[in-house]
Chains A and B, each alone.
Chain A
Amino acid sequence: MIQIHQLLPNLDYGDAISNHALEIRNFLRQWGYQSNIYVQYIHPRMSKECFYYQEHKEVSSPQNITIYHYSIGTDIQDYVKKIPDKKVMIYHNITPHWFFEGFNHQLTHLLEAGRAELKNFSAMPLLCLADSEYNLQELKALGYKRVEILPIIQDFSKFSRQPAPEIMSKYNDGNINIIYVGRIVPNKKYEDLIKTFYFYHKYINPRSRLILVGSYQGMEQYFIALQDLIKKLNLDQVIFTGQVALEELIAYYRSSHIFLSMSEHEGFGVPFLEAMFFQLPIVAFKSSAVPYTLGRSGVLVKEKRYEELAELVDTILKDQGLRERIIENQSARLKDFDKEKLLPQLKVYIEMITD
């Protein structure tokens, strides 16, 4: 019996990619495959779920399949090149390096090199699994032959936990809360969220706040620049939560009224699915994988005119009928990402290789 193992840089607790990998592993095991996860960095809470990638050598074999999540700046990528296994690449995308220019030179360099390497090894995997149509197009443009789509698999049952009570009581105060969730990185264009909020808060509804949930670790320069912008705009209701625990994330979603995204590059955009789950109307800038993930749901904007965006947000919040229609569409779209639908696709892809 062949074995199917996964290689990825790190297995974190609560991280979307890590959960995705665990879902895949569990599904493979259900089919009867021997399946493990091998990583370079292990979160202490996940130590029972995975092995160090060096131990992968013991299971490495030309008969076995290795699914590797493409990454940059780790040793995993170098290791994958050396093993004889049948290889399947999962591509979560690489952010274009120019977003980081002026904020993190090192990362800018790494991203640039990573994209170059992606092109060089287009022949290595037998099969590529892209998160989205957008990623599929990108890989095909880089010369990859066999590319299929496997959206990120999310288990929403984790959101049934109790929300953090202190956040619930603090932010459910009658004010309108506009939320965005994502690491504070330049491609997500936090400055545009802030500028939109400027018009909404100053000229439409002063009883409002912008809640920005995400870690800014490694992106301090960008964070400082955002603070500077907020100061210049004289805004006092922009909340940076930093990295949060799951209960806190649930509380922020439950306390919010609308999900606003100005991101200009998303490989998939897990938070869009979360916003759908929490029934928040989504207003998003149309870029990269965003329209693919939203399908025909949510509201996509093609330009960033802040004063108009502010009015759009206000219209959605005030027009209950419109808001309900948006949420209804989003809920319908969310069903496409049901893991009961996605996992059988994975089975088909695996069988394509084994046959």
Chain B
Amino acid sequence: MDIEIKDQEVEKIMEQIKENIGRKKALGVYSDEEIEWVKKMDGKVDSAHGPADHGFQEQLRQMNLDWELKNKVPILSHRRILGPVIIFSKKALRRLTKPYINLILGEQVVFNANATRVINQLTAKLGGLEGQNNNLTKRHEELFDKVDLWNAETRQDHAQLKLEHDQLFDKVDRWNAETRQDHAQLKLEHDQLFNKVDRWNAETRQDHAQLRLEHDQLFNKVDRWNAETRQQQAELNRNHAELVQHHQALFDKVDLWNAEVRQDHAQLAQHHQALFDKVDQWNEGLQKELAQLKDRHLTLYQKYTALQQENILLKRRLDIILSDLRKKTHLKPELARSLVIHQERLMDHAYFLFEHTYRGLPDEIRERFKVYLPYFSGMSDILDVGCGRGEFLELMREQGIPARGIDISEDMVYYCQQRGLVVEQKEALDYLTSLSDSSLGGVFAAQLLEHLPSPSLQEFIKLCYQKMQPGGIFIAETINPLSIISAIRNFYLDLSHIKPLHPEALRFLLEYLGFKEVQTLFLSPFSPELILQKLIPENSLGKEYQGLLELMNRNIDQINEVLYGYQDYAIIAKRG
């Protein structure tokens, strides 16, 4: 082979090629025959291997030739003279008719072209499919070969497995024989064991007979002991009968003693009855005396009530008379002023009566005031402002503490003076103003502050501070408005009350005006039977009700605190 290449190594390449081929041929890779065989193969369709038989190929070839329907018949004539004329006219005719024929045949030609193309493509595809089919057949044959190979291998494996199986069976037989031998051995040992057990059984039976004999002997012994015991019991029975006789004798003695005691008792009962009779007689006498006293007391009370009513009527009458007198126009001014004072005093007298009726008895009040004693202990120049019936002053006198009082009510002042107390009829603010500063050892004012209007209250406290010595004690008692019941029942009971005083407001006022060590003392609790009663838990109640009960009791405590709190309180302060 000759090659053209713009390269200096052309010859070297060709030599290499030739050498390669020579080596391949020498090695028998391929032969000259094979090269010749390939060379001779042409690119023409081989009907033997083609997609269809030769007739089909011929028809296809014809179809490819004829689809265009062109008139391929050459126009010829064999006539010597007329020939050219005929040819000319035939050609002219063909040329004239050609457009019309083409018009008609045009569509047919298109169809033929398409049909031919489709058939050509189908043929090509058929060729391809046949190629695929041959490939598949080839693969199928290969698979069959493989299957045969596998079969052969499987047979070999099977033989191998059978051999192994037989060997296993032999082993199993051997194991069986061994197992049988072991079994016989075990049976022998088992029989020997059974014999031993039989021997032990026989021995046990012998032991049992021996034991039974010993048992019978023991029973005989027990029987003997029983007989002896019975004899002893008969003896004991005899002893018992003797003891019963002794006992009976003793009982007889006790009965005798009893009769004697009863006789003594009857005598004592007679004495006792006589004494009772005497006490009854005395009782009767005392009863009679009590009835007489009660009658007398009733008579006195009726007289007292009648006097009180009479007193009220007289006061009313006096009031009317005073009013009538004040209406007179020609009265002297002094007389008119006197009339006004008399009428006011009449009202004070009414308050005296009111306090006597509602405030409580003087002894009770005095008892209550004892709570303040420790504060005034060892002091002097104590002023009781609004001393009323003088219960506090009496208490001071008892304790030897020098004290004096003032009150606006003539009746109160009179009442106190009658009892020997140092009391003057004075208006509080005027009186305090008149005193020299730091002259008082202490001030006491019970149930007074609630009677004062706000400016007077401040003025009063300020004056007290001013007139007291340093270290002096100021105590004021008033109704506790934090207790709703006390506020309703006590504060509003008295028409002359102006303003209830909150404990904290009062404390603030005192501290504001200079007092030190201010403390509040709550007093006069309601007696327990007057307040709301708590629920008493019962053991039978379930736990859930216990909780409810406790809640309820807490609520009751809170309501009691608000409704039934302490009725009064005292504010206690020191001048610094």
Give the docked Cα–Cα distance between A155 and B67 (Å). Answer: 38
Give the docked Cα–Cα distance between A225 and B61 (Å). Answer: 13
**Is B7's CB under 8 angstroms from A326's CB?**
yes
> 5 nearest interchain CB pairs?
A191-B43, A220-B120, A300-B4, A311-B17, A302-B2
Residue of B nearest to A332 (CB): B6
Taking A191-B42, A191-B43 as contacts, is the C-beta distance between A227 and B127 under 8 angstroms?
Answer: yes
Give the docked Cα–Cα distance between A291 and B4 (Å). Answer: 10
A sample of 29 cross-chain residue pairs with beta-carbon separation below 8 angstroms, ordered by A number, consists of A105-B65, A106-B65, A216-B124, A218-B117, A220-B121, A221-B64, A223-B124, A225-B43, A225-B45, A228-B46, A228-B127, A229-B43, A231-B134, A232-B41, A232-B49, A291-B4, A296-B6, A299-B4, A300-B3, A301-B4, A302-B3, A306-B39, A307-B21, A308-B1, A308-B18, A309-B1, A312-B1, A325-B7, A326-B5
**New A-B contacts (12) at CB < 8 Å, excluding given A195-B41, A216-B124, A307-B30:** A190-B43, A223-B124, A231-B134, A299-B3, A300-B3, A306-B38, A307-B35, A308-B17, A311-B21, A312-B13, A322-B13, A326-B7
Cβ of B123 < 8 Å from any Cβ of A? yes
Cβ of B238 < 8 Å from any Cβ of A? no
Cβ of B128 < 8 Å from any Cβ of A? yes
A102, A230, A307, A311: residue with the most chain B Cβ atoms closer than 10 Å: A307
**0 or 1 for each of A324-353: is its CB under 8 Å from B? (1 = yes):** 011001000000000000000000000000
Give the docked Cα–Cα distance between A299 and B46 (Å). Answer: 33
Give the docked Cα–Cα distance between A329 and B5 (Å). Answer: 10
Give the docked Cα–Cα distance between A86 and B30 (Å). Answer: 62
Closest CB in chain B relative to A79 CB, distance in Å: 15
Closest CB in chain A relative to B22 CB, distance in Å: 11
Residue of A nearest to B62 (CB): A105
**Is A226's CB under 8 angstroms from B1's CB?**
no
**Is A220's CB under 8 angstroms from B21's CB?**
no
Give the docked Cα–Cα distance between A86 and B127 (Å). Answer: 50
Chain B residues with a Cβ closer than 8 Å to the other chain, count: 45
Chain A residue numbers with a CB within 8 Å of B29 are 203
Give the docked Cα–Cα distance between A329 and B8 (Å). Answer: 13
Cβ of A98 < 8 Å from any Cβ of B? no
Cβ of A83 < 8 Å from any Cβ of B? no
**Is B131's CB under 8 angstroms from A231's CB?**
yes
Taking A299-B5, A300-B4 as contacts, is the C-beta distance between A306 and B35 under 8 angstroms?
Answer: yes
Residue of B nearest to A314 (CB): B20
**Is A224's CB under 8 angstroms from B1's CB?**
no
Chain A residues with a Cβ closer than 8 Å to the other chain, count: 55
**Is A106's CB under 8 angstroms from B43's CB?**
no
**Is A303's CB under 8 angstroms from B2's CB?**
yes
Cβ of A199 < 8 Å from any Cβ of B? yes
Cβ of B450 < 8 Å from any Cβ of A? no
Residue of A nearest to B19 (CB): A311
Give the docked Cα–Cα distance between A310 and B5 (Å). Answer: 16
Closest CB in chain B relative to A110 CB, distance in Å: 10
**0 or 1 for each of A304-320: is its CB under 8 Å from B? (1 = yes):** 01111101101100010
Give the docked Cα–Cα distance between A226 and B7 (Å). Answer: 34
Cβ of B9 < 8 Å from any Cβ of A? yes
Binding site for B on A (CB under 8 A): 102, 104-106, 186, 189-191, 195, 198-199, 202-203, 216-218, 220-233, 236, 286, 291, 296-303, 305-309, 311-312, 314-315, 319, 322, 325-326, 329
Chain B residue numbers with a CB within 8 Å of A191 are 41-43
Chain B residue numbers with a CB within 8 Å of A291 are 4
Taking A227-B127, A322-B9 as contacts, is the C-beta distance between A312 and B3 under 8 angstroms?
Answer: yes
Give the docked Cα–Cα distance between A231 and B134 (Å). Answer: 9
**Is A301's CB under 8 angstroms from B41's CB?**
no
Chain A residue numbers with a CB within 8 Å of B128 are 227
**0 or 1 for each of B3-37: is its CB under 8 Å from A? (1 = yes):** 11111010001001110110010000110000100
Closest CB in chain A relative to B109 CB, distance in Å: 12
Residue of B nearest to A221 (CB): B45
Give the docked Cα–Cα distance between A198 and B51 (Å). Answer: 22
Taking A105-B64, A106-B65, A225-B43 as contacts, is the C-beta distance between A301 and B2 under 8 angstroms?
Answer: yes
Chain A residue numbers with a CB within 8 Å of B131 are 227, 230-231
Chain B residue numbers with a CB within 8 Å of A299 are 3-5
Chain B residue numbers with a CB within 8 Å of A186 are 43
Closest CB in chain A relative to B129 CB, distance in Å: 11
Give the docked Cα–Cα distance between A301 and B4 (Å). Answer: 6
**Is B61's CB under 8 angstroms from A222's CB?**
no
Closest CB in chain B relative to A78 CB, distance in Å: 12
Interface residues of B in 137-168 (CB under 8 A from A): none
Chain A residue numbers with a CB within 8 Å of B44 are 102, 225
Give the docked Cα–Cα distance between A104 and B39 (Å). Answer: 24
**Is A226's CB under 8 angstroms from B43's CB?**
yes
Chain B residue numbers with a CB within 8 Å of A319 are 13
Closest CB in chain B relative to A348 CB, distance in Å: 29
**Is B39's CB under 8 angstroms from A322's CB?**
no
Cβ of B557 < 8 Å from any Cβ of A? no
Taking A105-B64, A225-B44, A229-B43 as contacts, is the C-beta distance between A322 and B7 under 8 angstroms?
Answer: yes
Chain B residue numbers with a CB within 8 Å of A228 are 45-46, 49-50, 127
Closest CB in chain A relative to B390 CB, distance in Å: 127
Cβ of B511 < 8 Å from any Cβ of A? no
Residue of A nearest to B123 (CB): A220
* Set B39, B41, B121: member contacting A229, Cβ < 8 A: B41
Taking A105-B64, A203-B24, A228-B127 as contacts, is the C-beta distance between A329 and B6 under 8 angstroms?
Answer: yes
Chain B residue numbers with a CB within 8 Å of A312 are 1, 3, 13, 17
Residue of A nearest to B7 (CB): A325
Give the docked Cα–Cα distance between A222 and B46 (Å). Answer: 11
Give the docked Cα–Cα distance between A191 and B65 (Å). Answer: 24
Give the docked Cα–Cα distance between A191 and B42 (Å). Answer: 7
* Set B20, B46, B120: member contacting A232, Cβ < 8 A: B46
Give the docked Cα–Cα distance between A70 and B269 (Å). Answer: 179
Give the docked Cα–Cα distance between A315 and B12 (Å). Answer: 11
Cβ of B348 < 8 Å from any Cβ of A? no
**Is A315's CB under 8 angstroms from B43's CB?**
no
Chain B residue numbers with a CB within 8 Å of A322 are 7, 9, 13
Cβ of B319 < 8 Å from any Cβ of A? no
Closest CB in chain A relative to B190 CB, distance in Å: 79
Chain A residue numbers with a CB within 8 Å of B60 are 221
Give the docked Cα–Cα distance between A26 and B123 (Å). Answer: 43
Chain A residue numbers with a CB within 8 Å of B2 are 301-303
Chain A residue numbers with a CB within 8 Å of B38 are 195, 198-199, 233, 306
Give the docked Cα–Cα distance between A106 and B20 (Å). Answer: 45
Give the docked Cα–Cα distance between A191 and B40 (Å). Answer: 11
Give the docked Cα–Cα distance between A139 and B235 (Å). Answer: 179
Cβ of B68 < 8 Å from any Cβ of A? yes
Closest CB in chain B relative to A74 CB, distance in Å: 13
Give the docked Cα–Cα distance between A272 and B60 (Å). Answer: 34
Closest CB in chain A relative to B210 CB, distance in Å: 107
